Amino acid sequence: MSNRHTIHAQHHHFGWDNSNPPVLTVAPGDSVEFETVDASGGQLSASSSVADVATLDFAKVNPVTGPVIIDGAEPGDALKVTIESFIPSGWGWTAIIPGFGLLADQFPDPALHIWTYDAKGLTPAVYGPGGAVPLKPFCGTIGLAPAEAGLHSIVPPRRVGGNMDIRDLCAGTELYLPVEVAGALFSVGDTHAAQGDGEVCGTAIESPISIALTFDLVRGAELRFPRYETPGPVSRHFDAKGYHVTTGIGPDLMQGARDAVSGMIDLLGGLHGLAAPEAYMLCSACADLRISEIVDQPNWVVSLYFPKIIFD
């Protein structure tokens, strides 16, 4: 028989380290509900001001709850993680953090938006005059301990997962992670109420959310990188009214992404009167970066899709 477990938010850690002591051992087939701490590590709250962003301690960001041993997991296996459900908190934040984000050089000053939303109905969260962002809870950081010894930063994603910020790691998705150490040592955190593909300003709707997961093992899978399967359409919550789309074109994909985002910031300012920092944060919460063309050398096309439903 499978068992159900709960891990509370105080059992969290910063960074990946295969010497971190486990807080729980589970069998394949077991389910665990994880309480999470928001991406600021509790440094920001529903009553925070922009002054609190400027004093963030980066050593305390992106805490993850765990680690959990999956009994019998061995290097070369894949850990199958089925994302069962989320219990949102009803509040979150989006910030421009100096030195962080795709356009960090253009936005040197901190900014902060505090969100409140319906934790049960998950109706669209209000943003400024006339805006409302459809919600889709997911976990931004989900992964396993790496084989390499020592403490590794939580910020970059890795072969074993981590801070991937894939918005489709939502309820119903099945994620497969390559195991590098015995027991796998699984942890999860950095939950979001919504995000656009790309998370362009560096933060989405960062929100403490409990998450229920079920674990299984695939023996000898020899995955090179994580893979996942979605239960159905992935953008229906944004699609209904169409999109405004800006592009960046040139030989550098990163610069193309920057140009596409900058173009959308300008467009939202003209269409809806948003100040540039407000438009930048909103794009991070709901606009999708896509590589539209990567074969017609020497120039590639990056597009930013902003859903019209936000203001319609």
Domain match, 61 and 135 both: yes
The pTM of this model reads 0.96
Domain match, 12 and 89 both: yes
At 137 the pLDDT is 98
Would residue 116 be called left, alpha or beta, if left means φ above 0 and alpha means ψ between -120 and 50 degrees?
A: beta
Strands 138-144 and 186-192: antiparallel
Domain match, 60 and 145 both: yes
- 308 DSSP assignment: G
Q: Domain with 117 in it: what CATH number? A: 2.60.120.580
Domain match, 193 and 250 both: no
Domain match, 71 and 170 both: yes
At 1 the pLDDT is 64
Domain boundary among the residues 180, 203, 229 is at 229
Token digits of residue 26:
């589970």
Q: Are 82 and 213 a contacting pair, CB within 8 Å? A: yes
The helix (run of H) or strand (run of E) holding residue 127 is strand 125-127
Our measurement of the distance from residue 261's CA atom to the centroid of its chain's CA atoms, rounded to an integer in Å, reads 19
**Structural domain range at position 15:** 4-229
Q: Domain with 302 in it: what CATH number? A: 3.10.28.20
Domain match, 165 and 270 both: no
Domain match, 219 and 78 both: yes
Domain match, 123 and 202 both: yes
Domain match, 137 and 246 both: no
Strands 64-70 and 186-192: antiparallel
Domain boundary among the residues 183, 199, 229 is at 229
Reading the chain (312 residues) residue by residue, the pLDDT tens digits are 679 999 999 999 999 999 999 999 999 999 999 999 999 999 999 999 999 999 999 999 999 999 999 999 999 999 999 999 999 999 999 999 999 999 999 999 999 999 999 999 999 999 988 999 999 999 999 999 999 999 999 999 999 999 999 999 999 999 999 999 999 999 999 999 999 999 999 999 999 999 999 999 999 999 999 999 999 999 999 999 999 999 999 999 999 999 999 999 999 999 999 999 999 999 999 999 999 999 999 999 999 999 999 999
At 239 the pLDDT is 96
Domain boundary among the residues 176, 206, 229 is at 229
Q: What is the number of structural domains in the chain?
A: 2
Domain match, 79 and 190 both: yes
Within 8 A by CB and 6+ apart from 26, the residues are: 3, 5, 32, 68, 69, 70, 71, 215
Q: What's the rounded Cα separation, in Å, for the pair 92 and 2? A: 33
Domain match, 57 and 106 both: yes
Domain match, 277 and 151 both: no
